Amino acid sequence: MDDSIRTVMKRGFAVLVVAALAMALAPRLRAEGAEPVPSGAHAVRGAEGLAAPSAIALATPQILATQTPTPIPTATKFETPSPSKTSGGTPLPHPSGNAVFFSAEVLDVQHGYIFFSTGDAFKLAPNAHSVWIDNGQPAPLPSTRMYAQAIFDATGQIIELQVAKHPLPFNAAYAAAAHKYAVALSPAVPNNDQWPAALGSSKLNSSRMPLTGKIVSVRFVVEVPPTTPLSDAVYMSTDVSGWNPQAIRMERIDALHYSVTMPLRTGTAFAYKYTRGSWQSEERSKAGIAEPPRHFFLGSSPFGEPDTTVRDDTVYNWADFNPAGGEQLVPGATPTPFNPMPFGFPTPLPAPPKH
């Protein structure tokens, strides 16, 4: 007995080591594209149009066009801008005169203008030149999907483009300063879709508070039927995980509750259902019906965006619950006249040997 316990403990330790290794590998797997779910990592886009990369799992924000007034810092591997570029939007000294720096993704260069993903078009000076930002070597004019940092002269024309194939740091203050140089044939017309007017009428977020994509700790707590087997796991299945019935495993809080906590950005929206690991054991409503998915939207309150929030749900029934007891029919079940078994219950003999 003692030997067997020692053997088991040794092997148990081996299992724990394997578990630790698997845990260590898990982030790497995710980083390599084994996207955690809710997957998609769709951050709320800032007004400057650059998505904020995120190491956390994010679901899909749905109403971004009208709700993203505040830029989100963009993390890149690029070096920090030189000190001369960090004092706001005030024109700074430059060999060819005062300069404003503006960086963004390039959409196109046409007819002497360069178009950025911010929607701004700027005129290129006749003597404008282009260099690679990484080594200062001459470069061709940027094309679609390249990134460029533009330096303007006093007339508002671009005299130099520093180009790269990777995202560049964005300075909202400079963007605002450069915006006055943007060329547009038609006079500006207000956009009623833009926050705050549209936000107030939004069904999803009626608080009239802006959504900045702030990361919020969201805890989902679900109450399950008292007949739920103790040893069963409960999962969240979401549309952003392709309705995988085992997408997000929840942990047991007590005999009736499971929970999972996820960092999500404000603006995140997704649909979800609870399962016990398969669609044959998905949740059912109080009326025993397979109801449409639940919907979650991480909005704001009249006091602003929360730091944490809790979503409470109740599962009233499971699809595989058989009121009379016995085995529920599932795909793969073996046809038998005694299913559910009318005779012999609960005789323990004779069961076939199992090896």
Partner 1 sequence: MRPLTLAAITLLLFSVVAKPLPASAQIDTIVVRAGRIGFYSSHYIVTADGNVRVTLSDGTTISGRYFEMDLKMNRFVVAGGVSVVHGSYEYSGAAFGEFLDLKRGYFLPATPEPDRWTFLDSDYAKPVKGREMPGDAFNMPETGVEHPFILAKEATIIPKTGIALKPARIYTEGVYVPTPSYYQNFSPNPYLVQNGLAGATGGVGYPFFGGPHSTTTLFGRYDSTNKTYLAIEQNFGWQNAYLVASISPLTRPDKEYNLLGLIKTRNQRFQVSTFEQLNTLQSGFSEPLYSTALENLQLTYGLKNSFLQLTANQYHQDLMAEPLSGTYGGHPFIPNHPNNFELAWVGANQRISKYVPISFRLRGGLLTAHDTFGLGTFDGTPYTSYWQHFLGFTIFSDPYNLTPHAAFDQAVSFSVTYDRQRTFVSSFPRFQDQSTLTAVLSKLQGHKGSMYLAYTVTNEGDYLGALQPVIYPPTVFNNPYNGQTYPGFAAFDGFVTLRTLQYSYTYTPTPYFSFTFVAEKHKDFPDPIPYYWGNPPYDVTGRIQARISPILSVLVQRSYFFNFGPQGWNQWTIQFGP
Region 138-197 residues binding partner 1, contact defined as CB under 8 A: 143-145, 167, 183-191, 193-194
Shortest Å distance, C-beta 333 to partner 1:
7
Q: How many residues bind partner 1 (CB under 8 A)?
A: 141
Nearest to 263 by CA among 233, 239, 298: 298
Helix (H, G, I), strand (E, B) or coil at 338: coil
Give the binding range for partner 1 (CB under 8 A) out of 5-13, 79-87, 199-207, 208-216: 5-13
- Residue for token digits 């630790």? 20
Give all strands of the β-sheet with 308-314 in edge-to-edge order: 251-252, 257-265, 215-223, 308-314
> Using the rule CB under 8 A, is 26 a contact of partner 1?
yes
**Shortest distance in whole angstroms from residue 84 CB to partner 1:** 26
Instruction: Find the binding residues for partner 1 in span 72-101 (CB under 8 A).
Output: none
C-beta separation of 171 from 92 below 8 A: no
Q: Does 215 bind partner 1 (CB under 8 A)?
A: no
The interface region with partner 1, picked from 94-102, 157-165, 299-307, 333-341 by CB under 8 A, is 333-341
Q: Which is nearer to partner 1, 302 or 335 (CB)?
A: 335
* Residue from 54, 202, 207, 244 binding partner 1 (CB under 8 A): 244
> In terms of Cα–Cα distance, which of 17, 25, 29, 78 is closest to 53?
78
- The bridge status of strand 308-314 relative to strand 215-223 is parallel
Q: Does 202 bind partner 1 (CB under 8 A)?
A: no
Residues in CB range of 19: below 8 A, 6 or more apart: none
For residue 91, the minimal CB distance to partner 1 (Å) is 23
The amino acid sitting at 242 is: G
Instruction: Please report, as a single letter, which amino acid is at residue 343.
Output: F
The smaller minimum CB distance to partner 1, of residues 4 and 137, is found at: 4
Collapsing DSSP to helix, strand or coil, 159 comes out as: strand
Of 295-324, binders to partner 1 (CB under 8 A) are 316-317, 321, 323-324
